[in-house]
Amino acid sequence: MEYGYTFLVTVISVAISLLRVELSRLVRLGCVLFVFGLGAGVRPCLLHARQVAITIDDLPFADKASCDFEETRSVTRRLMEPVQAQKVPVAGFVIGERCGNLTEEQRRDLLRVWLDAGAELGNHTWSHPDLNDTPLPKYEEEILRTDAELRGPLGVARVRYFRAPYLHDGATSAVKDWLHAFLAEHGYREAPVTIDDSDWMFASVYGRALDTHDAALARRVREAYIPYMQSVVEFFERRSVEVLGRECPQVLLIHASRLNAEMLPALLQMFRDRGYEFVSLESAMSDSAYRLRDGYVGRKGLSWIHRWGIGKGQAVQLEPDEPRWISDMVKAQR
């Protein structure tokens, strides 16, 4: 009986000590998992926000019909207001001859608004030719003429990015290689785009609504714009993971339009709400993704995420379309 009692006490105490060990192991394991979770999962999400570089094309102004100097200057200042106030790094791509009804000095004044707001200016050719249909010597001239304008009268010390109109950068390997060699020779890098969207279509309908004082249409465009842009951003976040295994720093393309002068604060907020911080084009392009092979050769202007996917042998999935009523109205305007 006594032996049985001792045995029972021993079994219970061993069980308790084992349980303690197990409990302490569990607690330790829990701690390890918690710390590991903080270290490997949670903390990086908090420390390393999503990143996006904002790039704006067709400077000094994309709405062709409205190149009145005073109006364009006031809209440009409005567009640059959140850029300056929120210290958002921006790269703007200049078309040398844009707003041809203005004097050269007026065009430069508009571009100085960008420089004063801290924007970096890049080269987008002289007259926005399509590389698919332009002889190479003419295309060279187009790049060099805008280069001279930026470095000369505007006094921009560092011009280092070139963006091909329509993102057309060579329908054949020979033309693509020629373009990149020409750019390198003149100290340029091609500026990629990952978030490729149709903001210009919304801007076209919006401009028309403003010109015809159609307040209801203008409101309809404003209300549809951010949800559409968000659908495109979500798409490229997902494709980035599918193609690269992670979300790379993105490069957004939008245009210098009255629509974006009105909507840029809301657009920036949409990115912030999705956990983004704004970085320079240089910072985004320093990510290793931008050294991947652009596997696309052809006549289309594609997002670099599609190009990297093609380079890895993946099928292209195209981004969401703009709402049908927007594309119908753009067609009807032509």
**Matching residue, tokens 């332009």:** 134
Closest distance of CB 286 from Zn ion, Å: 24
Which residue, 141 or 277, has its beta carbon nearer to Zn ion?
141
**How many of the chain's residues bind Zn ion (CB under 5 A)?**
3
Which residue, 57 or 319, has its beta carbon nearer to Zn ion?
57
CA distance 301 to 266: 27
Closest distance of CB 285 from Zn ion, Å: 19
CA torsion 275-81-62-223 (nearest 10°) is 60
Closest distance of CB 122 from Zn ion, Å: 11
CA distance 197 to 243: 19
- Tell how far CA 293 is from the center of its chain: 19
* Encoded amino acid at 30, one letter: G
Closest distance of CB 62 from Zn ion, Å: 7
The SS3 of residue 135 is coil
Which residue, 51 or 123, has its beta carbon nearer to Zn ion?
123
Map the footprint of Zn ion across residues 244-283, applying CB under 5 A. Answer: none
Closest distance of CB 224 from Zn ion, Å: 22
Given a contact cutoff of 8 angstroms between Cβ atoms, the answer to whether 95 and 59 are in contact is yes
Which residue, 143 or 248, has its beta carbon nearer to Zn ion?
143
Closest distance of CB 128 from Zn ion, Å: 6
Q: Residue 125, by phi and psi: left (phi above 0), alpha (psi -120 to 50) or beta? A: left
* Letter string b/e over residues 276-287, b meaning 16 or more CB atoms within 10 A of that residue's CB: bebbbbeebbeb
**What mask, x for binding Zn ion by CB under 5 A, covers residues 141 to 180?**
------------------------x---------------
Question: Which of 197, 205, 215 lies closest to 329 in space, CA to CA?
Answer: 205
CA distance 280 to 286: 10
Which residue, 199 or 237, has its beta carbon nearer to Zn ion?
199
CA distance 68 to 137: 33
Map the footprint of Zn ion across residues 52-71, applying CB under 5 A. Answer: 57-58
Closest distance of CB 228 from Zn ion, Å: 19
Binding flag, residue 294, Zn ion (CB under 5 A): no
Size of the chain, expressed as the number of residues it contains: 334
Given a contact cutoff of 8 angstroms between Cβ atoms, the answer to whether 77 and 113 are in contact is yes
Which residue, 165 or 323, has its beta carbon nearer to Zn ion?
165
Cα–Cα distances in Å, from 139 out to 121, 133, 159, 205?
19, 10, 18, 30
Residue nearest to Zn ion (CB): 57
Closest distance of CB 273 from Zn ion, Å: 28
**What mask, x for binding Zn ion by CB under 5 A, covers residues 231 to 250?**
--------------------
The residues, ordered by sequence, that sit 6+ positions from 246 with a Cβ below 8 Å of its Cβ are 240
Closest distance of CB 174 from Zn ion, Å: 24
Which residue, 165 or 170, has its beta carbon nearer to Zn ion?
165
Which letter does DSSP use for residue 133 in this model?
Answer: G
Find out whether the peptide bond into 153 is cis, omega within 30 degrees of 0: no
User: Contact positions toward Zn ion, by CB under 5 A?
Assistant: 57-58, 165
